[in-house]
């Protein structure tokens, strides 16, 4: 087996609000290999969203460290935020621009990408996610699923090395889910993008992942390859895909 290098390393991350309460995240350690596809799952309120927000430097850990390419993410937070793209769980809170086009271009604008280049990239991502027809709409005219796609586009367009998605399939229909999956796999394959994705629906993605992390009550309960840990996930409130009828490779909405 070849040894790939980790791109993100999380070490003993703990996050606590106030001094008396028990920590919301407790001693979290894991690593993401370059160009890997990792799925994170866990019951509601176990701290998945909080953890993801640390990876992009939106929250500062109470203790513990996160390294990106071997360097603490807080050494150069500006660089971190360009390299780690985060799609929020609720797009309602993520959209900033007035129109869809403006919102998708927002990150690029902050990175100092020229207008022409921006428009080119916006058109491309809109085509890939099939939201061309939405580009000139106002953000508050969008449906829930459409908002979700726009939020995704706004992050994917920035071309981050690590893309972190918080329950991205939540509001997406079958078609949009397939589109998103295809796009993510393409990114992984062609640009060596590292993907970390939170979902409750293992059967949508499990075929594409080689690393599964299960959280419970602010801690990491299990991690490993799906084959190794799938038999144990049920005890943490996760629906186990019916494996006897299908093989692991079939567990995807792309098949």
Partner 1 sequence: MVNIGFWSYQPRLSPLHCIDSRVKLLLLTLHNYALLQLHGAGLCVVAVGILLLFWVSHIGWTALLSSFKMGVYLALFVLLLQVFSVPRDPSDVLWQVSFFWLSYSQLTYIFRLFLLLLSGQWLISTSTLAQISQAVDSFLQYIPLLRRVPLGWLLRLSWGFFPNLYHNALQIQAAQKSRLLVPQNNFRRYLRYFSQAFMTKAIKKTYYITLAMQSRSFIGKPQPSNAPLQFCDMVAVLVFVVWHIAARYSPQMLAVLLLQKQ
CA distance 246 to 140: 41
| 88 in contact with partner 1 (CB under 8 A) | yes
Reported for 124-128, long-range contacts at CB under 8 A and 24+ positions apart, including other chains, are: 125/153, 125/156, 125/157, 126/153, 128/179, 128/183
Site for partner 1 contains 61 (CB under 8 A): no
Determine the interface stretch with ligand ADP among 47-55, 104-112, 114-122, 222-230 (rule: CB under 6 A): 47-55
Residues 115-154 that bind partner 1 (CB under 8 A): 136, 138, 140-141, 154
Torsions phi, psi for 63 (to 5 deg): -150, 165
Tokens of 156: 């994917």
Q: Select the residue interacting with ligand ADP from 28, 50, 131, 212 (CB under 6 A).
A: 50
Does 78 contact partner 1 by CB under 8 A? Answer: yes
177 three-class SS: helix
State the DSSP H helix or E strand holding residue 46, giving kind and residue range, or none if neither.
none
Q: Does 165 bind ligand ADP (CB under 6 A)?
A: no
Residues that bind Mg ion in the complex, under the rule CB under 5 A: 48-49, 89
110 interacts with partner 1 by CB under 8 A = yes
The stretch near ligand ADP (CB under 6 A) out of 42-50, 123-131, 179-187, 205-213 is 42-50
183 binds partner 1 (CB under 8 A): no
- CB under 8 Å, gap of 24 or more: what pairs does 71-80 form? 80/56
Cβ proximity to ligand ADP: between 6 and 237 the closer is 237
Q: Cα dist. 224→146, 153, 204 in Å? A: 34, 30, 18
Binding segment toward ligand ADP, per CB under 6 A, in 41-49, 130-138, 200-208, 219-227: 41-49
CB neighbours of residue 19 within 10 Å: 6
Q: Which of 39, 46, 220, 233 binds ligand ADP (CB under 6 A)?
A: 46
Residue 49 interacts with ligand ADP (CB under 6 A)?
Answer: yes
Q: What is the rounded distance in angstroms from the CA atom of residue 243 to the CA atom of residue 207?
A: 12
Under the binding rule (CB under 6 A), the answer on residue 40 touching ligand ADP is no
DSSP classification of residue 140:
G
Q: Which of 3, 44, 93, 174 binds partner 1 (CB under 8 A)?
A: 93
Give contact residues for ligand ADP (rule: CB under 6 A). Answer: 17, 24, 42, 44-50
């Amino acid at each position: 087996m070849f040894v790939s290098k980790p791109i993100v390393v999380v070490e003993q991350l703990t996050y606590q609000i106030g001094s008396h309460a028990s920590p919301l995240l407790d001693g979290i350690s894991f690593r993401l290999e370059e160009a890997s596809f990792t799925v994170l799952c866990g019951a509601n309120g176990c701290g998945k969203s909080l953890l993801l927000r640390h990876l992009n430097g939106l929250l500062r850990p109470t203790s513990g460290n996160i390294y990106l390419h071997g360097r603490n993410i807080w050494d150069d937070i500006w660089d971190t935020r360009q390299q780690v793209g985060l799609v929020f769980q609720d797009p309602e809170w993520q959209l900033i621009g007035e129109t869809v086009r403006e919102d998708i271009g927002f990150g690029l604008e902050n990175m100092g990408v020229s207008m022409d280049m921006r428009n080119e990239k916006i058109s491309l991502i809109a085509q890939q996610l099939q939201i061309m027809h939405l580009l000139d709409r106002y953000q508050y005219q969008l449906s829930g699923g459409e908002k979700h796609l726009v939020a995704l586009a706004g992050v994917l367009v920035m071309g981050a090395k690590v893309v972190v998605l918080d329950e991205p399939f939540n509001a997406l229909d079958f078609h949009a889910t397939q589109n998103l999956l295809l796009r993510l796999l393409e990114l992984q394959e062609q640009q060596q993008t590292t993907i970390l994705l939170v979902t409750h629906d293992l059967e949508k993605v499990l075929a594409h992942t080689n690393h599964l992390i299960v959280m419970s009550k602010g801690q990491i309960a299990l991690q490993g390859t799906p084959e190794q840990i799938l038999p144990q996930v049920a005890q943490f409130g996760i629906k186990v895909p019916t494996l006897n009828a299908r093989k692991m490779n079939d567990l995807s909405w792309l098949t």
